């Protein structure tokens, strides 16, 4: 009924004569008459508003019915529609056009339900348009990001966009999978989709990413590892100027404080007037002063615990102990080889035939002294001990998964054919590595790719290799037999190669030192040098083994070498071509040496001690005892405040 009344009202509005439009217009919301014209893009500039012919656009009909109305109202609407069918024929075309333009959703179809027997509306399936921005149009399963094991016991794996079940596809056993890989050549290029429970082929881009990851390459195909470096702070006008402060220096820096002057004068006047008496010097009395440390006021609490009682002697302390207490020769040798603090007993049981044959006890004075210490340090006040669980004092360590990322697999491995590598060193820029083995072969490796670039062969085994820490030059030192060879790697830029040759083989050699050294320097002219042979060689004094360590100073001018034997420590200066032995005699066998990064200090490690010397003053500063029986490695922090020792 409501729909019929709405249609009748629309007819009355259509049948209204034009004189109604000519009647007095309703009052406008604007104080003055507004004459605005809005022309479309197809109309010309001279177009006017007369194209409307003065007609008022039809207002679209509104269906006020709800979806829950009874079917009885539909019957009444049908009767009213039959009565007014003739009057609506003339306006049918216009209303259909307007309804079709406003109808957004698809029209439903009324059918009778098989369950309730009542009519119901059934809408057609939704099909996304071609311009839909949904990223899951090709995914029939629309369950979203949920655990798929929820559907393990069900015949379906989810629901589509219309709410219908997506059945689980049939999957064969392992034999079917194997036969599929044999018959279908494209089965190797597919991956299992958990959402659809089936195999989907991979695209060419995804296969290319997998290939790059297997070959330890960058997944991005457009990545260029050799792109030129952008110099942000190099060049004229790009220098980074960062002053600490540009404020002028305050006046109080050089003008004496008047307030301090007044304060000092006030104290001086008080001393002169006698209001402030300085402390009299204390004169030591000739008589000694004693304090009774045991005479304290009686305490109402419980008595303090007594001093620990000495252990009573047993069969082992007897002068005639049983045979099972006497040590065997192996036990005696083991007891003597053990450190005194690690021994189970301070003495070995001995047997004598008579008491008069027992000699004086060697540790008698020591044991009496320790007993007096027990009595002297016995507590005179009872203190309550804290009952703390030792496990609560240990901090809880985080799980390893929360500490990621950290290295968990081997990144690069280069082969060294069946020989032991004795030394390795990495260039300052980290792009090159040099290694030496027992067969006398020195190899130059490119770190990123792991390719062997160059190889040098010597007559005997390699003792040590070390790369110069300077960044403006590039060369490394190799210790072989009684020689130290300086080698320039190949493929260096022109300026770096020239600077390196000028340092190792200058045109004008420095004057010889006043005190000649037994170490001889021999070099090849820069014009005749090549990357196949050493450009500079140092001939050390004879030694049974090659140099076991080479270490550079931070500035790259001083090189220290350690060889076997007494006086095997040498310090070589490249700029002056001079070598000197800083120690005439060293206690113990020198294992390692090290330069301090900022100070003229020199660390020398023997088997159990680390001594620090001042090279400028030629004095011993301190001796460090790390508590290691055999020191095998040592390094210093770049700040120079910490030293780490391993053994």
At residue 32 the predicted structure's pLDDT band, cuts being 50, 70 and 90, is very low
Q: How much is the pLDDT for 381? A: 61
H or E element at residue 57: none
Q: Which of 179, 156, 178 is nearest to 169 (CA)?
A: 156
CA atoms of 403 and 599, how far apart (whole Å): 36
Is 464 in contact with 559 (CB distance < 8 Å)? no
Enumerate the CATH 2.130.10.10 domain ranges in the chain, comma separated.
Answer: 421-585
Model confidence at 53: pLDDT above 80: no
Work out the pLDDT band at 231, boundaries 50, 70, 90: confident
Residues with Cβ within 8 Å of residue 365, at least 6 apart in sequence: none
- Checking if the pLDDT of 25 tops 80, the result is no
C-alpha distances in angstroms, 15 versus 57, 89, 91, 580?
14, 14, 11, 122
Grouping H, G, I as helix, E, B as strand and the rest as coil, residue 254 is coil
- Residues 357-413 pLDDT 10s: 999 988 899 989 988 888 887 766 666 667 788 888 888 888 877 777 777 777 778
Q: How far apart are the first and last CA of the chain?
A: 102
Report d(CA 179, CA 633) in Å as an integer: 59
Query: Is residue 641's pLDDT more than 70?
Result: yes
Q: How many Cβ atoms are within 10 Å of 447's Cβ, its own excluded?
A: 16
Q: Cβ(121)–Cβ(109) under 8 Å?
A: yes
CA distance readout (Å), 23 to 13, 19, 20, 26, 52: 15, 6, 5, 9, 19
The answer to whether residue 216 scores a pLDDT higher than 80 is yes
**By the 8 A CB rule, do 501 and 488 touch?**
yes
Query: What confidence score (pLDDT) does residue 448 get?
Result: 85
Is residue 22 over pLDDT 70?
Answer: no
pLDDT above 70 (res 501): yes
Tokens of 485: 């060879």
pLDDT 10s digits, 431-453: 999 999 998 999 999 988 888 89
Nearest in space to 203 (alpha carbons), one of 190, 193, 212, 192: 190
pLDDT at 102: 52
List % helix, strand, coil for the chain (3-state, nearest 5).
Answer: 25, 20, 60
pLDDT in tens, 456-474: 999 889 999 999 999 999 9
* pLDDT interval class at 287 (50, 70, 90): low
Long-range contacts made by residues 301-310, C-beta under 8 angstroms, separation at least 24? Answer: 301/382, 302/382, 303/382, 304/378, 304/379, 304/380, 304/381, 304/382, 305/378, 305/379, 305/382, 306/378, 307/374, 307/375, 307/378, 308/374, 308/378, 310/371
- Using 50, 70 and 90 to split pLDDT, how confident is the model at 572? very high
pLDDT for 135 equals 47
The CATH class of 421-585 is mainly beta
Length of the chain: 647
Token reading at 63: 């269906």
Neighbours of 579 (CB within 10 A): 21
Please check the confidence at residue 18 and state whether its pLDDT lies above 70.
no
Q: Is 568 exposed, middle or buried (0-12, 13-18, 19+ CB in 10 A)?
A: buried
Task: Give the pLDDT score at 298.
Answer: 61
């Amino acid at each position: 009924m409501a729909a019929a009344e709405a249609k009748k009202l629309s007819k009355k509005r259509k049948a209204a004569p034009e004189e109604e439009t000519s009647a007095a217009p309703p009052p406008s919301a604007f104080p003055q008459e507004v004459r605005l014209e809005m022309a479309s893009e197809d109309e010309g500039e001279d177009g006017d508003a007369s194209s409307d012919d003065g007609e008022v656009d039809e207002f679209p009909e509104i269906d006020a019915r709800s979806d829950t109305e009874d079917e009885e109202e539909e019957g009444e609407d049908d009767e009213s529609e039959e009565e007014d069918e003739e009057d609506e024929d003339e306006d049918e075309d216009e209303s259909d056009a307007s309804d079709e333009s406003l109808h957004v959703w698809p029209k439903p179809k009324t059918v009778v339900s098989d369950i309730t027997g009542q009519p119901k509306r059934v809408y057609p399936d939704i099909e996304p348009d071609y311009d839909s921005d949904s990223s899951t149009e090709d995914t029939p399963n629309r369950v979203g990001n949920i655990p798929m094991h929820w559907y393990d016991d069900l015949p379906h794996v989810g629901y589509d966009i219309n709410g219908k079940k997506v059945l689980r596809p049939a999957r064969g056993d392992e034999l079917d999978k194997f036969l599929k890989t044999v018959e279908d050549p494209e089965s190797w290029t597919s991956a299992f989709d958990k959402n659809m429970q089936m195999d989907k082929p991979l695209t060419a881009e995804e296969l290319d990413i997998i290939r790059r990851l297997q070959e330890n390459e960058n997944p991005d195909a457009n990545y260029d590892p050799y792109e030129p470096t952008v110099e942000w702070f190099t060049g004229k006008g790009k220098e980074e100027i960062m002053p600490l402060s540009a404020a002028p220096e305050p006046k109080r820096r050089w003008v004496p404080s008047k307030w301090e002057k007044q304060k000092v004068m006030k104290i001086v006047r008080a001393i002169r007037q006698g209001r402030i008496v300085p402390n009299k010097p204390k004169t030591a009395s000739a008589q000694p002063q004693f304090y009774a440390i045991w005479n304290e006021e009686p305490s109402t609490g419980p008595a303090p615990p007594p001093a620990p009682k000495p252990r009573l002697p047993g069969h082992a302390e007897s002068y005639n102990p049983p045979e099972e207490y006497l040590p065997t020769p192996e036990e005696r040798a083991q007891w003597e080889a053990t450190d005194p603090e690690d021994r189970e007993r301070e003495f070995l049981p001995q047997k004598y035939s008579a008491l008069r044959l027992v000699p004086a006890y060697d540790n008698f004075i020591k044991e009496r002294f320790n007993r007096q210490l027990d009595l002297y340090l016995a507590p005179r006040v009872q203190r309550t001990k804290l009952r703390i669980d030792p496990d609560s004092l240990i901090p809880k360590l985080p799980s390893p998964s929360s500490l990621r990322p950290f290295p968990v697999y081997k990144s690069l491995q280069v082969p060294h054919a069946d020989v032991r590598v004795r030394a390795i060193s990495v260039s300052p820029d980290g792009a090159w590595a040099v290694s030496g083995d027992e067969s006398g072969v020195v190899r130059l490796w490119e770190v990123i790719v792991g390719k062997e670039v160059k190889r040098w062969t010597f007559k005997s085994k390699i003792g040590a290799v070390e790369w110069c820490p300077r960044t403006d030059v590039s060369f490394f030192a190799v210790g072989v037999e009684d020689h130290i060879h300086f080698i320039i790697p190949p493929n260096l830029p022109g300026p770096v190669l020239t600077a390196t040759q000028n340092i190792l083989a200058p045109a004008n050699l420095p004057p010889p030192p006043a005190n000649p050294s037994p170490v001889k320097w021999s070099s090849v002219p820069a014009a005749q040098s090549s990357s196949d042979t050493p450009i500079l060689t140092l001939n050390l004094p004879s030694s049974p083994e090659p140099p076991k360590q080479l270490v550079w100073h931070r500035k790259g001018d001083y090189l220290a070498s350690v060889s076997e034997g007494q006086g095997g420590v040498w310090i070589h200066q490249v700029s002056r071509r001079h070598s000197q032995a800083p120690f005439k005699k060293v206690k113990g066998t020198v294992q390692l040496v090290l330069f301090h990064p900022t100070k003229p200090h020199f660390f020398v490690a023997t088997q159990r001690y680390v001594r620090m010397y001042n090279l400028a003053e030629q004095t011993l500063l301190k001796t460090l005892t790390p508590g290691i029986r055999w020191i095998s490695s040592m390094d210093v922090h770049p700040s120079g405040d910490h030293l780490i020792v391993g053994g």
